[in-house]
Amino acid sequence: MSKIKIGSTTLNFSLHIYLMGILNVTPDSFSDGGSFQTVDAAVHHAKNMIRDGAAIIDIGGESTRPGAKEVSTEEELQRVLPVIKKLAQETTIPISIDTSKAEVAIQALNAGASLVNDITALQGDQKMAEVISEYDVPLCLMHMQGTPKTMQKHPTYGDIIQEITTFLQKQITYATQQGISQDKIIIDPGIGFGKRTGQGIEDNCEILHRLTELQTLNCPILVGASRKTFLGNITSSSLPVTDRLEGSLAAATIAAYNGANIIRSHDVKETRRCLDIVECVLKH
């Protein structure tokens, strides 16, 4: 797929690799939890990311870090809605709502969001597919083994890319059966979500290395490796989140070169500069 329309914006993947800026309005996200808990701080940060090259802002109100506990629908809505409303009023940037709850998706879409990023790939809430179909908006389906609370306990794989591909194809088929057009579906292999790391097996690296194999699904590919644990684990010593910029940029560069259409990142300015180089190389 060469294009996708999100709100009034068309992303043309034959021309660009796009950036999704991460905006977590949570107290406990693994990287930036607690950093943007006021509406003004969150919107200011979003505008900075837009200035630095973000094409989409992905707003999340529930942490999905390993071991994270679920929050109520009410709490999630209280966190995300004021930010979405203000950002939608003050910019024209496509806004993604990072949620697995149908009610949160409904209210976020009504407030100005135009993309749903569901880490459960429609498995978390039976009503989500109906919402996406009714609102006729793009949807991102992600692979995850388990739930955020359990996903890193004992993940196991045979051929990881084959298993991810099989799962995503199943969910694409389910989505289309529920009335969601395939040309509105984005796929995400779920870097860091129920993937093995730090014990001699680096599933995330294999995903990045074999990413082109996911192109058989004929959907835009989103990759989010930014600041994740495996980047610290594969260096000479385990690095804290604040020291994972170089690893994040390396992962983003490899992902983009191997076929990712959208890179999800905390560090938008630096990542955009890397993607500019990748785009130039790919055009020659």
For 233-276, the pLDDT digits (tens) are: 988 667 888 889 999 999 999 999 999 999 999 999 999 999 99
What's the Rg (C-alpha) of the chain?
Answer: 17
**Sorting pLDDT into bands at 50, 70 and 90, what band is 33?**
very low
For 146-168, the pLDDT digits (tens) are: 777 766 777 889 999 999 999 99
Q: Find the mean pLDDT for residues 61-85.
A: 88
Contacts of 120 (CB under 8 A, 6+ apart): 100, 142, 144, 147
Q: What does the domain layout of the chain look like in residue ranges?
A: 3-282
The CATH number of 3-282, from 3.30.450.40, 3.30.1490.20, 3.20.20.20, 3.40.50.300, is: 3.20.20.20
Which residues carry out catalysis?
228, 264
What pTM value is reported for the model?
Answer: 0.93
The pLDDT mean for the chain works out to: 92
Confidence at residue 70, expressed as pLDDT on a 0 to 100 scale: 81
Is the pLDDT reported for residue 99 higher than 60? yes
Confidence at residue 26, expressed as pLDDT on a 0 to 100 scale: 83
Longest Cα separation, the chain: 50
**CB of 100 closer than 8 Å to CB of 117:** no
Q: How far apart are CA 45 and CA 67, in angstroms?
A: 26
With a pLDDT cut of 90, the percent of the chain lying above it is 81
For 100-126, the pLDDT digits (tens) are: 999 999 999 999 999 999 999 999 999
Of 281 and 1, more confident: 281
